[in-house]
Amino acid sequence: MTDYLSSGSLPDEYQQLAKAVRDFAQTVVAPVAAEHDANHTFPYEVVAGMAELGLFGLPFPEEYGGQGGDYFALCLALEELGKVDQSVAITLEAGVSLGAMPIYRFGNEAQKQEWLPQLTSGKALAAFGLTEPGAGSDAGGTRTTAKQDGGDWIINGNKQFITNSGTDITRLVTVTAVTGEKENGTKEISTILVPTSTPGFTAEPAYNKVGWNASDTHPLTFQDVRVPQENLLGERGRGYANFLRILDEGRIAIAALSVGAAQGCVDESVKYAKEREAFGKPIGANQAIAFKIARMEVRAHVARTAYYDAAALMLAGKPFKKQASIAKLIASEAAMDNARDATQIFGGYGFMNEYPVARHYRDSKILEIGEGTTEVQLMLIAREAGL
């Protein structure tokens, strides 16, 4: 991948994928984005379209119903969707990176055969149950417990801010839970697969969010949820470590989504600056507007290069933790900064929710919070630098 990082030219298969998703975003996603955002409704018809395109199976082998692609292909799709509707993009990102990927990375063959074909087809969604009211980045704050009872696990606790956890097609939540105590006295955290049909599992009413209004997000309650012992995902006690690996990968995906949002703001601003006239000429003829858009373009370009670099390292099997954090940090800030500048360029229209830049303005803030806050990324980067 390093060859075309410097040349700026992607191989044909990547270009074709990006174009197909771009066309889908413009013809299927864009026309309904404002309506779903305003009504806070989940875009089932859009998700079905993404499933038909094979987007949920992009980075998975064909033996599990996937497309036989790679993680970079997923990132390209997320960038194109993110230009138009972040809610749709995060639905795909969470469904693949957080929902299906833990099973692919850490599941046994029986778990892969049972769940991956459903998830890669896009006919079912899975969620990632990590965050709690008192625990996110702080694993020590995890209070959800899973205790063995005969051949079962009995799970009790709560999760919050869980994406794709309450849709009509959600079939599974992978949960981090305290399963014991390590020799050093710290909590032993494992991951367990919980089908959403299990008695005692409840997806509480959806949140009323600032943005990502067409994305499905719920708090979850587990009350004496009983699942078979074989629903343990991966090695007992390795749950949090495994999820950290998933989060490292996910930060590249979020960076790609963020680049899409940043570029979407550029594209909308260029179009508006050419059409909107003030004092007898297009506002884009004014250096103040032109330079603002130029800086927006620079942010998007730099952020794209950063996530390309992180993805190249990951696919080459090289360490990529620092580069993933750098990409996530730069790209999320680019999305937020570009959304703010685009809203300013649009003036009063930028404050109207039916315009894409207004949605980007509301949607982009969470990009600096989800899958590791800006502060967490700075901590990780400093740590990787040896501090």
Which sequence positions are flagged as catalytic?
371
Of the candidates 80, 110, 104, the residue with the CA atom closest to the CA atom of residue 92: 80
- What is the C-alpha separation between 29 and 43, in angstroms, rounded? 9
**CB-based contact 5:312 (threshold 8 Å):** yes
Please name every residue paired with 146 in a beta bridge, in sequence order, or none if there are none: 155
In which element (H, E) is residue 203 found? strand 201-203
For the chain, helix (H) and strand (E) counts, in that order, are: 13, 10
Please name every residue paired with 178 in a beta bridge, in sequence order, or none if there are none: 145, 189
Alpha helices in the chain (DSSP H): 2-7, 12-24, 30-39, 44-53, 71-84, 86-93, 101-106, 109-120, 239-275, 287-315, 321-346, 356-363, 374-384
CA angle, 153 as apex, 147 and 157 as ends, to 5°? Answer: 65
118, two tokens: 């459903």
- What is the C-alpha separation between 12 and 330, in angstroms, rounded? 27
**CB-based contact 252:327 (threshold 8 Å):** yes
- What is the C-alpha separation between 82 and 354, in angstroms, rounded? 16
- What is the C-alpha separation between 129 and 106, in angstroms, rounded? 16
Helix (H, G, I), strand (E, B) or coil at 165: coil
- Residue 187 is given by DSSP the state E
